[in-house]
Structure 1
Amino acid sequence: MYGKRISTGIPGLDVMLRGGLIPGRTYLVKGAPGTGKTTLAMHFAMAGIANGENVLYVTLEEPAENLRADMAKMGFRINDSRFTLIDATPTSERYVLVEDFFESFAGSLEKMTNAIKEQIRERHYTRVVLDPVTMLKLTTPDEMEYRKAFLGFIKSMMRMRATVLMTSELQKTDIEEYLVSGVMELRMFDIQGTLYRGLKILKFRGSSFDCSMRPYEITDRGIVVYHDRVISLP
């Protein structure tokens, strides 16, 4: 009914998206620290691996060594040959890797875009993760320059037919939300002393979607979304 879809790797979220994400577009996952944004991004990456795709994952905040250790505990296939993890954190010993393409923490989103395009040309990555894009925004002081670079990034990825998922810890993500094709928000609530987690789709161009707040859990095997339940706030 809605055309070809690709899985997020989380069955309950795929149901909320009416079958999954529309390929070749850019999506944003936002939420406070500890809500599971990186875990959701890894589900998306591993769904690509399971589908025989090449996946490029750029970590901009969590060192790759820590990310590998945490994700391996959940059973993710992080050592698969089709999965490329790039450590672009400012604490990386090589400061940012992959030969000469990722230089000086990709000091701008434009440099990062060119580096990713080069990688896609070399290996035809169909899924790309930027986790979190917040770091690139904070290193670009000029707002107009950032907006132009962000739009350029989205257009470049669309031309290369890559499906992109980026995360953000900023609650206010005006330009990102406006330009991307979809926005998912992860939230935490304290209801009468009990912590609840809720996932809400705020935007999904080109399709209808479930706009209810659905509960989710972070388990030892990753995220589970309960698409048939609703969080009722007092």
Structure 2
Amino acid sequence: MESARISTGIPGLDAMLNGGLIPGRTYLVKGAPGTGKTTLAMHFAMAGIANGENVLYVTLEEPADNLRADMTKMGFNLRDPRFTLIDATPAAERYVLVDDFFESFAKNIERMTEAIKQQLRTRHYTRIILDPITMLKLTATKEIEYRRAFLAFIKTMMRMKTTVLLTSELQRTDIEEYLVSGVIELEAFEIDGRLSRGIKITKFRGSGFDGTIRPYEITDRGIVIYNDRVVSLP
């Protein structure tokens, strides 16, 4: 029996995923700066809002005001009452959730897990985005401790029946890729002197998927993926 699917908010990506993501699991979107990870994550968030879900978005690098301004220009409604944006950036003197103030919880992934659990006690979020997880990994002192904490985070989110999307700028994300249920990579290439972008799925547990590198564009309305085309590398 085919598992139920939820939309990523990008039709071309849903097609590559054979209908969308399997809910209640954790997924990783990786790519260099400027490849559109945050935009993809926002499509995922807004697809949840459109479906009547509550969505929690934790920004760890881009200040919330900047994120709100950039994404609003693309037509995303970050003012929807179902959407909660937490600013956990290092630049923020205090960590802000709407109009309430929180102590810093971006120090490590254990603190992040506890903070999210606290939020889930007040409101059930079916989609959570951490953008980017890179910031939490860089705070870890020992790899083994980070691995343990990351696994505990994934298990906690599964128990809460929440679908989680993580973004990462690190090229090496061995532990995350091993433990998450799916990995989506965004890449930029220079072909004949022009910048081209390609998206590929390298892992998707519990389902078949399109493993071809498909071209995509970042437009003034977000990401468009051409799942009927192929990136032609030189």
Report the TM-score when normalising by structure 2.
Answer: 0.97
Aligned partner of 2:85 in structure 1 is 85
Q: Deviations over 1:127-167 (max 9, x none)?
A: 00000000000011211111010000000000000000000
What's the offset of the Cα at 1:2?
Answer: 2.2
Aligned partner of 1:54 in structure 2 is 54
Q: Deviations over 1:57-94 (max 9, x none)?
A: 00000000000000000000100000000000010131
Quick one: distance in 2 between partners of 1:105 and 1:135? Answer: 12
Q: Deviations over 1:21-55 (max 9, x none)?
A: 00000000000000000000000000000000000
Partner-residue secondary structure (3-state), 1:227 = coil
1:31/1:171 contact within 8 Å kept: yes
- Amino acid paired to 2:24: G
Gaps of 5+ in 2: none
Aligned partner of 1:184 in structure 2 is 184
Aligned partner of 1:174 in structure 2 is 174
- Amino acid paired to 1:106: A
| Cα root mean square deviation, aligned | 1.1
Aligned partner of 1:97 in structure 2 is 96
Partner-residue secondary structure (3-state), 2:155 = helix
Aligned partner of 1:106 in structure 2 is 106
Partner-residue secondary structure (3-state), 2:183 = strand
Aligned partner of 1:141 in structure 2 is 141
Gaps of 5+ in 1: none
Q: Deviations over 1:170-223 (max 9, x none)?
A: 000000000000000000000110110000000000000000000000000000
- Amino acid paired to 1:97: V
Report the TM-score when normalising by structure 1.
Answer: 0.97
Aligned partner of 2:202 in structure 1 is 202
Q: Which runs of 4+ in 1 moved over 4 A?
A: none
Aligned partner of 1:163 in structure 2 is 163
Aligned partner of 2:12 in structure 1 is 12
Quick one: distance in 2 between partners of 1:106 and 1:97? Answer: 12
Quick one: distance in 1 between partners of 2:16 and 2:148? Answer: 32
Aligned residues: 232
- Amino acid paired to 1:212: T
Quick one: distance in 2 between partners of 1:124 and 1:104? Answer: 22
2:60/2:130 contact within 8 Å kept: yes
1:90/1:105 contact within 8 Å kept: no
What's the offset of the Cα at 1:117?
Answer: 1.0
Sequence identity (%): 76
Aligned partner of 1:64 in structure 2 is 64
- Amino acid paired to 1:159: R
2:28/2:183 contact within 8 Å kept: yes
Matches within 5 A, 1:19-30: 19-30=19-30
